[in-house]
């Protein structure tokens, strides 16, 4: 379906004035016909009275063709089931009064998404709680503003099988009203479902943290990509994936951002212990490396200045004592030897 923009219909004010004048003329015909009937002009009086009465009875129908659009609003029109065109710029329009506006997503409210008319709504859970349906009638106008879909948190297994919870925010807008209305049943629900699907497809490619022998780019070479460390790249891939899926619905995805990322509660405690253990091992390794360097320096200085001559057994005892002092978690309790060194 190709979008057809109606730019030549901005004559609503002229038509409104004309309709008001015709109504005034209809009332005048009634008054004049009543006066003529009193004067004996029967045929002319009847004609004027019938003409005025008919116009007053059906003259409201042309008023249905008056349409007002605010900035960043659009209205898709159909005439007896056929696509008539789209009003896409702000202004006061007059169209065929038998044209009707079409917007199958008029009553759907996406989470944190602005719409043309914001009435009170009663939530109706759809896919992952992303949409709700208004209990009141909604405008058939389509918002062209940039809107935000705040995708609720989902539990997804990463490429290592670890369950993680992740949420995204997607900035989007309608760029082709004909595709949005006629190519899909409800473009807002369609967007919500495609966001869920794209998020799952991309998250399954990455590990939560950097892991060995994991290829996240598809080039056959292991890399350091991860959900936690490559959030910008992951968000960009999610955006591109969503855009491919919603192009046929006339939607443009401007940006996608990860708003929440964490391990699922059932493994969060274990993964925290794992991270703590890894941090402890790294810290111990650093302490041991430093302690060994200090012991080597002490032995070298003692040997250079000939402060004391130590045999191999005493050197081993000294190294052991220094490592215990330097690597221990608590302060050392020295033992003073008041006798001979040997």
- pLDDT tens for residues 238-258? 999 999 999 999 999 999 999
**Confidence class for position 183, pLDDT limits 50, 70, 90:** very high
Q: What is the DSSP string of 82-120?
A: EEEEEE-SSEEEE--TT-EE--TTTTEEETT---SS---
Task: Please determine, for residue 125, whether its predicted confidence score (pLDDT) is greater than 60.
Answer: no
The mean predicted confidence, pLDDT, of the chain is 82
Task: Give the model's pLDDT for residue 124.
Answer: 36
Task: Please determine, for residue 127, whether its predicted confidence score (pLDDT) is greater than 50.
Answer: no
As annotated, the residues of the chain forming the CATH 3.30.479.30 domain(s) are 143-263
Task: Please determine, for residue 130, whether its predicted confidence score (pLDDT) is greater than 50.
Answer: no
Burial 196-216 (b: 16+ CB within 10 A, else e): bebbeebbebbbbbebeebeb
Q: How far is CA 249 from the centre of its chain?
A: 16
Q: Report the alpha-carbon distance of residue 101 to residue 194 in Å, rounded.
A: 26
**Best-predicted range by mean pLDDT (146-160, 212-226, 240-254, 326-340):** 240-254
**102-116, 187-201, 225-239: least confident range:** 102-116
**Confidence class for position 200, pLDDT limits 50, 70, 90:** very high
Q: Which of 178, 169, 162, 196 is nearest to 271 (CA)?
A: 162
Give the phi and the psi of residue 195 in degrees, each rounded to 5.
Answer: -65, -45
Q: Report the alpha-carbon distance of residue 226 to residue 208 in Å, rounded.
A: 5
Q: Which of 171, 158, 155 is nearest to 235 (CA)?
A: 171
**Confidence class for position 93, pLDDT limits 50, 70, 90:** very high
CATH number for 143-263: choose from 3.40.50.280, 3.30.479.30, 3.40.630.30, 3.90.1150.10.
3.30.479.30
Q: Report the alpha-carbon distance of residue 105 to residue 267 in Å, rounded.
A: 39
212 three-class SS: coil
Q: And the tokens for 339? A: 């006798």
74 C-beta neighbours (distance < 10 Å), count: 22
- Percentage of the chain beyond pLDDT 70 is 85
Q: Report the alpha-carbon distance of residue 208 to residue 195 in Å, rounded.
A: 20
74 or 330: whose pLDDT is higher? 74
First to last CA, the chain: 100
* Cβ proximity of 165 and 153 under 8 Å: yes
**Confidence class for position 129, pLDDT limits 50, 70, 90:** very low
Q: And the tokens for 92? A: 């006061």
* pLDDT one-digit tens code per residue, 4-58: 998 887 888 999 999 999 888 888 888 888 787 766 567 777 888 888 888 888 8
User: Which residues fall within 8 angstroms of residue 10, CB to CB, at 6 or more apart?
Assistant: 91, 92, 93
Task: Please determine, for residue 76, whether its predicted confidence score (pLDDT) is greater than 70.
Answer: yes
Task: Give the model's pLDDT for residue 237.
Answer: 94
* pLDDT one-digit tens code per residue, 277-319: 777 787 888 888 888 888 888 888 877 777 777 777 777 877 8
């Amino acid at each position: 379906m190709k979008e057809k923009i109606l730019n030549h219909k901005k004559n609503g004010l002229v038509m409104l004035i004309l309709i008001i004048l015709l109504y005034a003329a209809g009332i005048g015909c009634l008054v004049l016909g009543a006066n003529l009937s009193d004067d004996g002009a029967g045929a002319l009086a009847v004609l004027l009275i019938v003409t005025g009465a008919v116009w007053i009875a059906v003259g409201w129908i042309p008023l249905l063709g008056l349409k007002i659009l605010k900035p960043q609003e659009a209205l898709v029109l159909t005439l007896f089931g056929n696509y008539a065109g789209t009003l896409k710029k702000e202004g006061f329009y007059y169209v065929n009064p038998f044209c009707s506006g079409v917007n199958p997503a008029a009553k759907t409210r996406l989470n944190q998404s602005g719409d043309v008319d914001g009435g009170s709504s009663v939530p109706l859970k759809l896919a992952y709680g992303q949409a709700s349906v208004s209990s009141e009638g909604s405008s058939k106008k389509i918002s062209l503003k940039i809107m935000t879909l705040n995708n609720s948190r989902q539990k997804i297994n990463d490429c290592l099988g670890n369950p993680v919870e992740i949420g995204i925010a997607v900035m989007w807008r309608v760029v082709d009203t004909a595709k949005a209305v006629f190519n899909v049943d409800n473009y807002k629900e369609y967007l919500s479902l495609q966001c869920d699907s794209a998020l799952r497809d991309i998250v399954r490619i990455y590990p939560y943290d950097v892991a060995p022998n994991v290829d996240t780019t598809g080039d056959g070479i292991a890399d350091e990509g991860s959900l936690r460390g490559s959030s910008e790249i992951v968000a960009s891939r999610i955006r591109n994936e969503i855009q491919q899926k919603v192009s046929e619905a006339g939607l443009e995805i401007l940006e996608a951002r990860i708003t929440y990322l964490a391990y699922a509660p059932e493994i969060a405690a274990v993964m925290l212990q794992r991270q703590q253990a890894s941090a402890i091992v790294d810290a111990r390794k650093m302490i041991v490396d430093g302690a060994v360097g200090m012991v080597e320096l002490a032995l070298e200085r003692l040997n250079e200045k000939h402060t004391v001559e130590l045999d191999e057994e005493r050197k081993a005892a000294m190294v052991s004592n220094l490592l215990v002092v330097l690597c221990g978690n608590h302060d050392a309790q020295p033992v003073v030897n008041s006798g001979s060194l040997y």
